[in-house]
Amino acid sequence: MRSIIALPDKRLRQESSPIKCFDDGLKELASEMQAAMLEGPGGVGIAAPQIGEMSSVVLVDCRQTKRPCDNHGLLFLVNPEIISLTGGEVLGREGCLSAPKWTGMVPRTRDIHLRYRNLKGDEQELKSSGFEARVIQHEIDHLHGVLFIDRMISTRDLVRRTP
């Protein structure tokens, strides 16, 4: 099983490459991502770069979140692309498996519409809102080398997690 990489690892700042081959290797990557996320402290999403794989794959699973929310269940988003952001910005607290000791207040758009491929390579579209939309935006940022700390309005909002 692959481990989650953490700051200051420079791979977290790299751009990911699009997936071109939808084969058993992709399914294995998805499985490794899910296992790594489940080993972490209550994660609801993970991006391939967080396990050192510079590929455009995101996993989002808000089914077990502490915050009740409408969600689409377990999502594997391959080559995700946000089509539109609507509903205005909402400020919310975020954490990250790659910065496990910190949380911060981050503005995110409430509603998103995205295009992606599933693990078979079929093109899909999805509309999401609220907490799930926040998680999707957070994970897509990872594919572009952007971390939640880069989106914070003020570093005064950065808070050390307590055990």
What's CA 10's distance to the chain center, in Å? Answer: 18
Six token digits for residue 20: 């071109």
Q: Which of 53, 94, 132, 139 is catalytic?
A: 139
Q: Where are the alpha helices (DSSP H) in 12-159?
A: 24-39, 130-143, 148-151
Please tell me what DSSP assigns to residue 57: E
CB atoms within 10 A of CB 156: 9
Active site residue 53: no
What count of residues does the chain have? 163
Report the candidate in 41, 56, 44 with the shortest Cα–Cα distance to residue 6.
Answer: 41
The residues that are catalytic are 139
